[in-house]
Structure 1
Amino acid sequence: MKPKRTDDLSERERDILRRYVTDVDARVFSIRDLNPEVIGAALARYSRAPTGFKETVAREFLNADGTPNDIKGSEMVDRVVNKFGDDSVAELAVAPLCIEEISNLMTKIIEDCRIGGSPIEESTRYVLYDQKRGGRWRYVRSRTIMESGLGESYVAVMDFLFDTYAAMVEPMQELFRKRLPADRFAIEVERGGGVQRVFPADLTDDNEKRAHRIAYNFTIRSAACDIMRCILPAATQANVGIIGNGRFFSMLISKLQTEELSEAQDLAEQIREALNHQIPTFIKRAARREHRADVHRKMRARCDELFAAEAIETVPEVVLLDNRDEDYFINLVASMIFPYVQHSTQQVRRVVRALSEQARLDIFNLYMGERKSKRDRPGRALEYGYPIEFDIVAGFAEYRDLQRHRMLTQQRQDMGVLLGYSIPDEIEEVGMLDAVQECFQRAEGLHHDLKRAGLREEAQYAALFNHFMRWNMGMNLRELGHFTELRTQKAGHPKYRRVCQTMAKLYLQRHPEMEPVLRYVDHNDYDQSITRAEQEARTARKSLTTGVFDDMDD
């Protein structure tokens, strides 16, 4: 029986729909208590049905007793998405997903899927890694490494890193307590119809004292975390929460299945299993991308051969590249090579420029691979062509914070140990310099051992947060303004603030007339690495106003 072509709901339909929509009579409403696949199927009908969502649900996707017809919803999604290939419909179902105890390296691989998913991850800037869980430190034990004969060496190095980290926690916090004593830490409170900054001696009740204690302790802890994370490895475990649509999760599963890391392949199946309880039809088509895997293997071999005799040149921390139209194809091929080497974009471009035209075309064709359908999509290098592009060398710690921006294109090189590292001055101040230097030495030895054993991808786990890595960022002017103004605010980490300050300075040197776009870039240099004090002072006022305190920081 065809659905009635009318927007007039019967009283019975209205009664049933009250379970599923916030307001049966409203033109704007929210949806509740419906399977995501029923929601997706009903929303997909907007493009073809003459009636609205409520009428479509009531007449097409509910059983006679008013319960949702989940089977019909899934069947329609399967037909539209998987048989007809209408990918836009795959964005109409949204699911929350929690992924716990994965490596920090894996969080970056996941977050490379930029469109359709909103991730939030456990922060090494705020969370201490000084407690074992189940008798183990919090790092990933890759199945491939543990079965390789290097498992014992890997565990020994990782345990040493975390033992050293744990030994620093109290001395480092004490250092920052001396730099900022509790009696010199003020919080904001509302008094006399206004906002005042109040020191401990002038706090009037237990709630104000509690708010001060929470804000102060969090400020000191985060300052210590900022320093100590320099020796955390990329294998450090983290938790990630994601709200994503069906297309995002389908692409994520396919991407993870295509990765060489066993952690990624195992995770792909775990994600599929979890989402099969929510949006099974939307991820049904997710599969390993043989085309991309083949391209990756061949490009890596070709780039190894091409750059075998090319020493890595030293370049500034941030470089604003010159993207001239006449060099388009040279620069495009260089973008294809960039993720497979450790060299700067400028150096890669010079090597490509010296090649014959046929050699460049061969690399281009190798990167494109043997595409058998439109779903064999080429990689991100084809996004080259932004008006603004930077090469950046900084620690993995800084990359983690700057990678999450989605309105731009980023390509990174493998994490490694060839570009050097930095050790914060505070490490020596607390008497831990020798131990921390040994952390870097042991991590580099493990990294080299893993690479020699053929575990090139897994070797990235051994790189530490303050080992330098290189990545490339292309963007338009609007995103440059947003990016640099956001990431130079006072609460940001001093190192990534410096990177973004330099990006703004380099761009304005070339285009001084664009200063209004970057007007609120904060170029100040804040002392003593206690950058969250003012933000936590404001947070304390909000806690007092609402009566809601973060007990985890108490």
Structure 2
Amino acid sequence: IAHKIKHELDTTVKSFVRRSTDKYGLAMQDYLKSLHKKSQSVSKKYKITSKRKGPLVKLVNYESEVSAMDKVIAAIIYESQRISYDEILAKVKKLSNSVKSKIILDFVKLRTNRRQRPPRAFEMTDYTFDIIGNFGMFRDLHRHRVLTMQRQLLTTDHGYNTPKEIVELGIQSEYDSCMKNTKRVFELMRTKMPEQSQYVVNFAYNYPFFMKMNLREAVHLIELRTIPQGHIDYRQVAQKMFLEIHKKQPTLSKIIKFVDLKSYELERFEAEKRIEEKRKHSK
């Protein structure tokens, strides 16, 4: 398929795709194949057999709040000073916790809406979340690019999500039957075609991935993904991410000022209605 696509593109936009098969493009293809092969061999050598069920949002890597505040405050000061970062950091470490907290809270007060991003100094500390959620939700969070994301193959190993609307409509048996059929077909394919078999997996099946992001990006992601119009699945994940950060860093987490922890039943539906109304009027 890829070769056929390349052939078709050559007839219209050859200048945009010619480098895919020049010496550097071919070398890159070999490099990517080698990376994949080496990753697979390392994975098989240290294989751990454990099947986890979702959903899950777990903060698996972070630093103490004191250390995080030290680095953020040092970066704030660095911008207006003429001395080295390590000298500033050494001085900041000697400040009392109450003084450090006041500095952070002063910056929290400056934000009047979620579009006003914190300064880049808040990129100095980061978090890694291990997440298992349905694949449809993952596709929304996957759009965020200012972070590190590692993912596994899509399988049926981690269970699936059943929306409450399915239960309320009285069609859970049909839904479960569909999901079981997906699993049956997937199991027939996975041994010989582990990558291709992903295409038969329903988006409701849970999918494991991890996300590593700095605090500034966490502010953007959490505040955006908890707005009332958001889908309930990624809203719940973003809310749990905030609560995990807040549990470990109660002062610093206040910079995530516009997180919405409420639960909404019809906001998404109302948003879809407004979009449909706009479509009608645009015709």
TM-score by length of 2: 0.68
**Structure 1 residue 550 and structure 2 residue 282: aligned?**
yes
Aligned to 2:181: 442
Contact 2:159 2:206 in 1 (8 A): yes
Q: Distance in 1 between matches of 2:226 and 2:60?
A: 21
Q: Partner amino acid for 2:127?
A: I
Q: Residue 535 and residue 455 in structure 1: after superposition, are their counterparts in 2 closer, same or farther (change >3 A)?
A: closer
Q: Partner amino acid for 1:550?
A: S
Q: Distance in 2 between matches of 1:539 and 1:460?
A: 32
Which has the higher relative contact order, 1 or 2, with Cα contacts under 8 A spaced 6 or more apart? Answer: 2
**Structure 1 residue 402 and structure 2 residue 145: aligned?**
no
SS of residue matched to 2:268: coil
Equivalences, count: 221
**Structure 1 residue 301 and structure 2 residue 15: aligned?**
no
Aligned to 1:524: 262
Aligned to 1:418: 157
Contact 1:443 1:463 in 2 (8 A): yes
Q: Distance in 1 between matches of 2:127 and 2:221?
A: 12
Q: Distance in 2 between matches of 1:427 and 1:321?
A: 33
Q: Residue 468 and residue 548 in structure 1: after superposition, are their counterparts in 2 closer, same or farther (change >3 A)?
A: closer
Give the counterpart of 1:427 among 155, 159, 166. Answer: 166
Q: Distance in 2 between matches of 1:427 and 1:548?
A: 29
Q: Residue 535 and residue 299 in structure 1: after superposition, are their counterparts in 2 closer, same or farther (change >3 A)?
A: closer
Q: Partner amino acid for 2:282?
A: D
Give percent identity, aligned residues only: 25
Give the counterpart of 1:392 among 125, 131, 149. Answer: 131
Q: Partner amino acid for 1:431?
A: G
SS of residue matched to 1:393: strand
Give the counterpart of 1:475 among 210, 213, 218. Answer: 213
Q: Residue 317 and residue 421 in structure 1: after superposition, are their counterparts in 2 closer, same or farther (change >3 A)?
A: same
**Structure 1 residue 463 and structure 2 residue 205: aligned?**
no
SS of residue matched to 1:404: coil
| 1:384-415 Cα shifts (integer Å, max 9, x gaps) | x9721111110110001110111111111110
Aligned to 2:96: none
Contact 2:246 2:253 in 1 (8 A): yes
Aligned to 2:30: 290
Q: Distance in 2 between matches of 1:523 and 1:499?
A: 11
Q: Distance in 1 between matches of 2:215 and 2:63?
A: 17
Contact 1:419 1:469 in 2 (8 A): yes
Aligned to 1:507: 245
Q: Distance in 2 between matches of 1:478 and 1:272?
A: 42
Q: Residue 466 and residue 315 in structure 1: after superposition, are their counterparts in 2 closer, same or farther (change >3 A)?
A: closer
Aligned to 1:248: none
**How far does residue 427 in structure 1 lie from its aligned partner after superposition?**
1.6
Contact 1:319 1:392 in 2 (8 A): yes
Q: Residue 305 and residue 390 in structure 1: after superposition, are their counterparts in 2 closer, same or farther (change >3 A)?
A: same
Q: Residue 275 and residue 434 in structure 1: after superposition, are their counterparts in 2 closer, same or farther (change >3 A)?
A: same
Q: Residue 539 and residue 423 in structure 1: after superposition, are their counterparts in 2 closer, same or farther (change >3 A)?
A: closer
Contact 2:130 2:210 in 1 (8 A): yes
Contact 1:490 1:532 in 2 (8 A): no
**How far does residue 305 in structure 1 lie from its aligned partner after superposition?**
4.0
**How far does residue 324 in structure 1 lie from its aligned partner after superposition?**
6.4
Matches of residues 73-152 of structure 1 in structure 2 within 5 Å?
A: none
Q: Partner amino acid for 2:268?
A: T
SS of residue matched to 1:321: strand
Q: Residue 388 and residue 266 in structure 1: after superposition, are their counterparts in 2 closer, same or farther (change >3 A)?
A: farther
Q: Distance in 1 between matches of 2:3 and 2:17?
A: 19
Matches of residues 247-258 of structure 1 in structure 2 within 5 Å?
A: none
Q: Partner amino acid for 2:235?
A: R
**How far does residue 429 in structure 1 lie from its aligned partner after superposition?**
2.8
Larger Rg: 1
Aligned to 2:236: 498
Q: Distance in 1 between matches of 2:130 and 2:40?
A: 20
More helix, by proportion: 2
Q: Distance in 2 between matches of 1:521 and 1:398?
A: 18
Contact 1:396 1:469 in 2 (8 A): yes
Q: Partner amino acid for 2:194?
A: R
Q: Residue 301 and residue 448 in structure 1: after superposition, are their counterparts in 2 closer, same or farther (change >3 A)?
A: farther
Q: Distance in 1 between matches of 2:7 and 2:130?
A: 35
SS of residue matched to 1:522: coil
Q: Distance in 2 between matches of 1:538 and 1:423?
A: 26
Q: Distance in 1 between matches of 2:199 and 2:54?
A: 25
Deviation larger for 266-275 or 403-412: 266-275
Aligned to 2:112: none
Contact 1:393 1:470 in 2 (8 A): yes
Q: Distance in 1 between matches of 2:59 and 2:236?
A: 15
TM-score by length of 1: 0.36
Q: Partner amino acid for 1:296?
A: H
Q: Partner amino acid for 1:419?
A: H
SS of residue matched to 2:207: strand
Contact 1:386 1:474 in 2 (8 A): no
SS of residue matched to 1:320: strand
Q: Distance in 2 between matches of 1:523 and 1:301?
A: 43
